[in-house]
Amino acid sequence: MSDLEIARAAKLAPIEEVGARIGLPAGALYRYGPHKAKVSLDHIASLGGKKSGKLILVTAINPTPAGEGKTTTTVGLGDALCAIGKRAMICLREPSLGPCFGMKGGAAGGGYAQVVPMDEINLHFTGDFHAITAANNLLAALIDNQVYWGNPLGIDPSKISWRRVMDMNDRALRDIVVGLGNNGQVREDGFDITVASEVMAIFCLATSLADLEERIDRIVVARDFAKKNVTAKQIQAAGAMSVLLRDAIQPNLVQTLEHTPAFVHGGPFANIAHGCNSVIATRTALKLADYVVTEAGFGADLGAEKFFDIKCRQSGLTPSAAVIVATVRALKMHGGVDKKELGRENVDAVKAGTANLLRHIENVRKFGVPVTVAINHFTADTKAETDVIAEACRQAGVHAHLCRHWADGGKGAEGLAHEVVRLCEEGSAFKPLYPDDMPLVDKIRTIAREIYRAADIALSPDAAKKLKQYESDGFGRLPVCMAKTQYSFTAEPDVRGAPSGFILPVRDVRLSAGAGFVVALCGDLMTMPGLPRDPAAYRIRIDKDGQIEGLF
């Protein structure tokens, strides 16, 4: 059966029963139908005095077209922890419509390790992304309205940095002209995808509604003719934007196929933004469960690094353990095998590809977090191939676990669950990669050298100028969010394996003062993706029974 067929065949528990498993009363839930709900901020505030559980990060090797299964493993591990008698929860990001209708597909797990209802989660869900899009674009409209009505703030239209967003891949909107037809000051503008927006980052890093509004106030939207920053506070936008986000900021509660409670909330991309679910959802889960399994987007070079250096740094969260997901198929590709040849046993290619996995293990250890490896099993994998991975990990002092959660649900990941519990009991010595007071350019260089293994960075003159300006404006203590291809340690998506000694190009930087980081744009990565030649949208439809087909 397909993932969607498996999800539809499942008997879902009423969302009140799911909440009761973690001590959430029905009165704390705002229902969105029978199987999904938001948790009220008032109830969340009442949990403040409770002891926090253990936080487990699921990350992965660099993704390939062969697939890794990070979300599936996150769900499988959460189910497995419950299966061995632990009080566990899952925290995931919400899927973006862009990948759903583009190339990547849905993001609710797969097989018998899914969060459900998967079709609703992958589409409009509870409307959070629409609220974030509306809030972002309200600010854009208010900025241009200021300029239109006499420009009392003296905004330089050529220095407006705030871009519009939409949650869809549309390359035609990357660069546009606004203000035509006597509708304001004509200027160049553009769209980013919603998940790349600063509002999305703020939404996921805010700790409360008050913090959300304060962060929105700090957003730098433009420069004025006196070369000073113009903020959202000066535009008087924060109040109205917070109203649009008031309901959205409450975490969304759903369940897995095995009824494990799951928060699915927020959704910044990890190749562009910081790639983690909301701080509010994670903190709340830690008050409700003894073990909380969360994920960070793409490979550990992006998602895990940002989880540690941005989310944990800002929120005070301390991860107890990390899981790195790998597949035989993906390691073959990192070992030089073409996608068409992945079905054949190739032990040498797997062995060569483990260099990528071992690099990620080394990197996670740099943060002082104990780590294990989940080998996400595919039916074509052979014992000789999985043994090669296990042996490489053993030599690195790490246990690798063959996991069959896609086929068997939580039962297929019980070995991994026992290992995670053991690591959590060992204790973590978590620390960020770099100190707050390091200069911004050195933070970028540290990530490039320590995590990517670059020899150095090549900073464009414009980027260097902006970094100096940010520091003179008082933003020098912010962490850095690297925007880079997810497919490689380098800025070149076709360079697989574990390259080193290259030069990482940093073509531009952007200030996200409200979110609390500086974005470094590396290589040709776009903040508004395009659709592929054969988009998934061609195969998505409603069948004669009113059911959605082709979503995953």
The DSSP result for 170-238, as a single string, is -GGGSSEEE-TTTSS--EEE-EEEGGGSHHHHHHHH-SSHHHHHHHHHH-EEEEETTS-EEEHHHHT-H
pLDDT tens digits, one per residue of 20-72: 999 999 999 999 999 999 999 999 999 988 999 999 999 999 999 888 899 99
- Catalytic residue (one of 8, 31, 87, 104): 104
Paired tokens of 213? 């509004």
378 given a catalytic annotation: yes
Q: What is the pLDDT of residue 416?
A: 98
Contacts of 546 by beta carbon, 8 Å cutoff, 6+ apart: none
- Catalytic residue (one of 270, 273, 498, 536): 270
Is the pLDDT score of 229 beyond 90? yes
104 given a catalytic annotation: yes
Left (φ > 0), alpha (ψ -120 to 50) or beta: where does 523 sit? Answer: left
- Catalytic residue (one of 21, 38, 70, 218): 70
CATH 3.40.50.300 fits 3-127+248-426, yes or no: yes
Per-residue pLDDT, averaged over 175-191, amounts to 93
pTM of the complete model: 0.95
With cut-offs at 50, 70 and 90, classify the pLDDT of residue 4.
low
- Catalytic residue (one of 36, 38, 54, 93): 93
406 given a catalytic annotation: yes
Average pLDDT value over all residues in the chain: 95
pLDDT tens digits, one per residue of 368-407: 999 999 999 999 999 999 999 999 999 999 999 999 999 9
Q: What is the pLDDT of residue 105?
A: 62
129 given a catalytic annotation: no
With cut-offs at 50, 70 and 90, classify the pLDDT of residue 1.
low
CATH 3.40.50.1820 fits 133-234, yes or no: no
- Domain at 440-522: CATH code: 3.10.410.10
Per-residue pLDDT, averaged over 522-528, amounts to 88
Per-residue pLDDT, averaged over 361-373, amounts to 98
Residue 418 to residue 81: CA distance in whole angstroms: 8
- Catalytic residue (one of 129, 298, 489, 552): 298
Domain map of the chain by residue range?
Answer: 3-127+248-426, 133-234, 440-522
- Catalytic residue (one of 64, 71, 72, 133): 72
3-class SS of residue 529: coil
Per-residue pLDDT, averaged over 86-114, amounts to 88
